[in-house]
Amino acid sequence: MEEANRRRKLALSPVNDSYGEPTFHTVFFRASGLLSGLLVIQELSRQFYAARAWIAEDRIRHAKMTSYHTALRKVPETMNLHQGDRLDHYQIGSLVARSGMASIFRATDTRNGQPVAIKFPHEEMESDLVLHERFVRESEIGKRLDHPGVMKVYEVPVRGRFYAVMEWVEGRTLRKIIAEKAVPQEVAIAIVFGVLQALDYMHDHGVTHRDLKPENIMVDDEGRIKVIDFGIASLAGARRLTFGDLSEVMGTPDYISPEQLKSQRGDRRSDLYAIGVMLYEMLSGQTPFSGSNPFAVMNDRLVNDPAPPREVNPHITPEMQEIIYRALEREPDKRYKSAEQFMWDLLHEDEVGSPERNERVDGKEGKSPIARRVMFYLALALIPVVILGLLMHVLRHN
């Protein structure tokens, strides 16, 4: 009697056959649902990081604009320095740069006639504890570094107001050089090599720049470089400073690494990623990731591979393209681990090789959102077909 009831219940069950085993349709739909769910989770994860990048970029833009306009309103009352004025033992020269947080003047040290750059934080920056600490840390980082490829920051034992005195660097920014003309490969390699030498020294001293870009690289007439602006640099062992809304993403959209977009602090490999972007830009005339706005640029590097630089500039050697790829790996663990490794490949380009990278070969096609979406849904539609074939194969053999 009990056996008859059990068989009756099984017969009425939509998920088991008469022997209590899962039916073919049950296995099929469960497996299909599981794989479809995994794909949906992957797509949701991509959208999540894209949304975070957009929100962070919007916060940065809003904070910078607010700070900039506030600074402009306060310039008449805070920047009361004029060319020819004297501050401590410095003769103030012309105003050379101004941002939302500070202004930089060229000046002369009256003790020895040496030209220097003096950076004055704006009044609201001095009153903001976090921004003030960031300015102090920038000065401290600069003072501890002594390398020909790094801008020096001088000690000022006695001063009438809060400011930083830095080495005056002659030359042009790398941004101006890129904008003027195409950069020959040998010149680009020399510039990158000089920056890597400076980075190798900085990293050995526990400093990560975190905002490397052409605007922060000075090049003189002899081709010598200087790394400047340590405004958001990090120091190993130091307390982490945040900027409130700015704390989630620090860097510049075209050069920021994928891990920094995911709110990670960034390390030496993040600096090497930025170098890879600059090398790509110098050799091809464009940055590896593009978009109609900063959000699109940042999102592009999270989901796409860069277009092969050789397709943009056929004169780039396959080995140089491979060096760029290694620097631009999305996962930090696959990237160059040190500036020394990067320099070794540049010095031994003929030993680098050019392994097949299928995901890079179709880089341009892969960057089409429509093509990617069509491929996604085609793959999704093929899942049940593949599962059905596997199940029929298993059932046939059983």
Choosing from 200, 211, 254, 305, which is the catalytic residue? 211
Whether residue 226 is found in the same domain as residue 333? yes
Query: Are 134 and 149 contacting, i.e. CB atoms less than 8 angstroms apart?
Result: no
- The per-residue pLDDT for 70 is 46
- The per-residue pLDDT for 315 is 92
Residue 164: closest CA among 235, 226, 242, 102 = 102
- CATH code for position 210: 1.10.510.10
**Could you tell me if residue 114 is inside a domain?**
yes
pLDDT tens over the chain, length 398 residues: 666 565 555 444 544 554 455 555 565 556 666 666 666 666 666 666 555 555 555 555 455 444 444 444 444 344 577 788 888 889 999 988 887 678 889 999 999 999 999 988 877 666 677 777 777 888 888 888 999 999 999 887 766 677 889 999 999 999 999 998 779 999 999 999 999 999 999 999 999 998 999 999 999 999 999 999 888 888 876 665 554 444 444 567 889 889 888 877 788 999 999 999 999 999 999 999 877 777 777 778 888 888 899 999 999 999 999 999 999 999 999 999 999 999 999 999 989 987 777 544 434 444 444 455 556 556 666 676 667 777 777 667 66
Total domains in the fold of the chain: 2
**Which residues neighbour 372 within 8 Å (Cβ) at sequence distance 6 or greater?**
366
**Could you tell me if residue 7 is inside a domain?**
no
Residue after which a domain boundary falls, among 167, 184, 202: 167
Sign of torsion over alpha carbons 61, 64, 70, 72: negative
267 tagged catalytic: no
Whether residue 319 is found in the same domain as residue 189? yes
Whether residue 265 is found in the same domain as residue 352? yes
- State if pTM tops 0.75: no
The tokens for 349 are 């380009």
**Could you tell me if residue 33 is inside a domain?**
no
The tokens for 2 are 């009990």
Q: Each residue of 165-194: b (16+ CB within 10 Å) or e?
A: bbbbbebebbeebbeeeebebeebbbbbeb
Q: Each residue of 360-387: b (16+ CB within 10 Å) or e?
A: beebeebbeeeeeeeeeeeeeeebbeeb
Total Cβ atoms within 10 A of residue 83: 12
Whether residue 266 is found in the same domain as residue 244? yes
**Could you tell me if residue 17 is inside a domain?**
no
Whether residue 159 is found in the same domain as residue 181? no
Whether residue 188 is found in the same domain as residue 336? yes
**Could you tell me if residue 66 is inside a domain?**
no
Whether residue 344 is found in the same domain as residue 197? yes
Whether residue 106 is found in the same domain as residue 188? no
- CATH code for position 115: 3.30.200.20
- DSSP annotation string for 202-230: HHHTTEE-----GGGEEE-TTS-EEE---
The tokens for 33 are 């649902």
**Could you tell me if residue 390 is inside a domain?**
no
Whether residue 138 is found in the same domain as residue 180? no
- The per-residue pLDDT for 173 is 94
The separation between the first and the last C-alpha atoms of the chain, rounded to the nearest angstrom, is 32
Whether residue 182 is found in the same domain as residue 304? yes
Residue after which a domain boundary falls, among 167, 194, 218: 167
Query: Are 59 and 248 contacting, i.e. CB atoms less than 8 angstroms apart?
Result: yes
- DSSP annotation string for 269-312: HHHHHHHHHHHHHHHHSS-SS--SSHHHHHHHHHH-PPPPHHHH
Whether residue 148 is found in the same domain as residue 247? no
**Could you tell me if residue 137 is inside a domain?**
yes
Sign of torsion over alpha carbons 85, 89, 94, 97: negative
**Helical H runs in the chain?**
2-12, 24-78, 123-127, 129-144, 174-180, 185-204, 258-261, 268-284, 294-303, 309-312, 318-327, 339-347, 358-361, 363-366, 369-397
- The per-residue pLDDT for 45 is 60
Whether residue 213 is found in the same domain as residue 338? yes
**Which residues neighbour 340 within 8 Å (Cβ) at sequence distance 6 or greater?**
200
**Could you tell me if residue 94 is inside a domain?**
yes
Domain that holds residue 85: 81-167
- The per-residue pLDDT for 7 is 56
